[in-house]
A and B are shown apart, each in its own frame.
Chain A
C-alpha cells in the first residue's frame, strides 16, 4: 500500500443533520464511496465515515458523523454536535416539511457547536426537480439571512455532493489561516497532525495530559 492515504496534515470533524429520510446517509455514502446507496436503511443513532481530500495543497482527513434523523434518536445525536468543525444541514427539496424544520435544526446547531463551526445548507434530491416543493430562491434567501452556505445537491447523481463537502472544508481551512479558529481548543473540531507517519507513542505533547502510562 502506498503511503498516500496516511499523509494528511489536518483532521476536520463534520456532522450531518436534518430530518428523517432527507438523504443524509446517502450523501455520506456518495461522498465516501462515490456510489449511490439505493435502499439505505434507517440510521440507528449515528454512523461514521471518513475520506481524505485536498484543500490548497494540504491533505485533510474528514471524519464525518452521520446522525439519525428520527426524533427518538435526538438525544444521542445532540451529543455529537460538540467538536464539529463543519455541520451539513440537509433538507429534501421535494418535501416542504423538512425545509420548515430547518430553523429548529439551526437552533440546535447554533446552541451546541462553537461560533466558528461552518454550517452548510444542502437541498438534497435535486434530481427530482419535477416534484420540487421548495424553490431554490426561497432556500437561498433563508441561507443568506442566516449566514449559511447553500447548494442544491443530489446524492443519487452525485451532483454538487463533492462541492458541499469541499466548500465546507475550504471555509474551515480559511478560518484556520485567518486565526479565527483556535486549533488547540477541543471544541474546534480540527486537529493538526504532523505529516510524518509512524511516530512513536512516546512523542505526544504532554500538555493537558497527565496520564501516567
Chain B
C-alpha cells in the first residue's frame, strides 16, 4: 500500500497509453508512489471536468489543458499528440498540487483506493456518517486487508488525526468504530489489488483497535500477517480461520507466547470466553496442547485438515461438538480416555475401519461415520450399548452396500432399536420386524439371552464372541 505522505517526493504520474473502448478513447495514467504503482484510465472529458474544478478552486492556470477538438479526434496521430499533451498537463498539475493534494485530484488518480492516507479519509467519512447505523444493523463488519493495514500504519504516523478542515475525515471516527465492532470478518487474497502491484496478503494488519470483538472470521489470510491476536484473549467468543494454511492450532492460540516454555504459561494467556473454534480447511496435523488454553471450548471444528490422531483433550470439560470430518483418522483408539463429555462427533470422510475406540463414549448422542472404510457389520457391536446414541451415519461405507445392512445394524441395538436414527432415517415397522427375527436367530445361534431382557445392567465390556 502506498503512503503518499511519506513518499511525496518519490511520486510521479504519467499518461502512458491510450486505448479505444466502445469507440471512446481512454488515456491510461500510471501513478507511482515509492515502490507502489497503479493505473487509472480517464477519457478526455474527465480531464476537462477535473480541470474546470481545479481552475476554480485551486488556481490552476486555465490554458494549461490541451484544447478540445470536435472532428477527426480519433486518428492515431492526434490521439498520440493528445496523450503527450495530457501527460505534460498532468505532470504539471501534479507538481503544483503535490503538497495540498485536494481530494478532487486524489480521487481522479484513485489515491483513495491505494493510499493509506486517502483511503482512511474516505473510510473516516463513511464511518462518521454511517458507522452507528452499521453497528446497529450489521451482523458482521467486513474490513478489507487494505483498510486494516492502513489503520495500522496510520496509528504509527506522527500526524494529527484531522488533516482536513472538515472533521468528518478525522481518524478518530475509524478507531471509534473499531472499538465498538463485535463481529469482524477479514478476507485475504494473493491477487493483485485492482490495477496496482499491491498483494493484499503481503500487508501486515493489527487487531489492537478491536477492543470489544467477540466474533472473528478470517478467510485466506496467513497468520503471519495478523498481529496482536493476543489482545483478543479476554473478549473473543467465536473464532473461525479458514483456508489460511494453518499448520498447528498453537500458531493462533499461543501467538505472542508461542516460543515460551509451556509449563511457565500463566493464566494471562487463557482464552477466557472462547467457546467456538472453527479451523476448517487448513493444514493442521495435530490438535496440540495449545487447545488447553481454551477452557470454555464447546465446539471444535477442524474439518478438512490433515489430522490422524487426537491428543488428550479431556481437560476441555465443556466440549460438546467435535467436527473431524475430512481428515485422516483410521484407528481412533481409546477415545473415551481423550475426550470428556462429548455429545456429537462428525468423523465422516476419514479412513476408519473399526469402531472399537468409541465403545466407552457414554455421553455420545450423534456419531457420523459416513464415507469411511468400515466393512464388517459386527463393528456396530462396539457402540450398540452407548446409552445416549440416537443418530448414527454409516452410509457410503463398504458395509452399507451389504444385503440387509439397515436391519443388521438396527438389530444390534436391541431394545433401543426404535430410537436409533440410522443415516437420517428411523427404522420402519417392517425393518423392526425383520430385526426382531434376526435377533431371535442370533439368540438361537449364540445360545444367549437377548440383551434387551438384561438391558438394565448392560455390561460395558461387551465383547462379540
Contacts and interface: CB of A to CB of B under 8 A. Distances in A.
Given A191-B167, A210-B103, A210-B104, A201 B175 contact: no
Interface string B97-133: 0000011100110001000000000100110011011
A50 B126 CA distance: 18
Interface string B130-142: 1011011100000
Contact of A78 (B104, B122, B158, B168): B158
Nearest to B137: A198
Interface in A177-213: 186, 191, 197-199, 201, 203-204, 207-213
Given A76-B156, A211-B103, A201 B176 contact: no
15 contacts: A13-B172, A48-B172, A63-B173, A63-B175, A75-B158, A76-B156, A83-B160, A83-B161, A83-B167, A197-B133, A198-B136, A204-B129, A208-B166, A211-B103, A212-B103
Given A6-B132, A65-B172, A197-B136, 11 more contacts: A45-B155, A63-B175, A63-B176, A82-B161, A82-B162, A186-B162, A201-B129, A209-B168, A210-B57, A212-B107, A213-B112
Contacts of A209: 103, 166, 168
A79 B170 CA distance: 13
Given A3-B136, A79-B158, A204 B103 contact: no
B165 interface: yes
Interface in B149-186: 155-162, 164-168, 170, 172-173, 175-176, 179-180
A207 B167 CA distance: 12
A151 to B, nearest CB: 25
A213 B160 contact: no
Contacts of A199: 129-130, 133
B209 interface: yes
A48 B103 contact: no
A79 B159 contact: yes
Contacts of A36: none
Contact of A212 (B104, B130, B133, B180): B104
A106 B373 CA distance: 76
A75 B136 CA distance: 37
B180 to A, nearest CB: 8
B53 interface: yes
A82 B133 CA distance: 28
Interface in B286-323: none
Interface in A1-21: 1, 3, 5-6, 13
A201 B126 contact: yes
Contact of A213 (B107, B135, B165, B173): B107
Contacts of A78: 158
Contacts of B103: 209-212
Given A63-B172, A83-B161, A186-B165, A211 B107 contact: yes
A167 to B, nearest CB: 22
A194 to B, nearest CB: 11
A80 B155 contact: no
Interface in A43-66: 45-46, 48-50, 61, 63, 65
B158 A50 contact: no
A166 to B, nearest CB: 19
B268 to A, nearest CB: 9
B158 A48 contact: no
B126 A197 contact: no
Contacts of B156: 45, 76
Contact of A198 (B112, B132, B161, B209): B132
A211 B169 CA distance: 11
A48 B167 contact: no
A29 B426 CA distance: 57
Contact of B129 (A3, A13, A203): A203
A192 B162 CA distance: 16
A137 to B, nearest CB: 37
A169 to B, nearest CB: 16
Most buried by A among B122, B165, B172, B173: B172
A48 B166 contact: no
Contact of A208 (B108, B155, B165, B209): B165
A1 B170 contact: no
Interface string A74-104: 0110111111000000000000000000000
Contacts of B211: 49
Given A79-B159, A83-B161, A191-B167, A48 B104 contact: no
Contacts of A186: 162, 164-167
B156 to A, nearest CB: 6
B135 A6 contact: yes
A3 B135 CA distance: 10
Closest 8 CB pairs of A and B: A198-B133, A6-B132, A211-B103, A82-B160, A48-B175, A63-B172, A76-B158, A208-B165
Contacts of A79: 157-160
A77 B333 CA distance: 59
A50 B179 contact: yes
B102 A46 contact: no
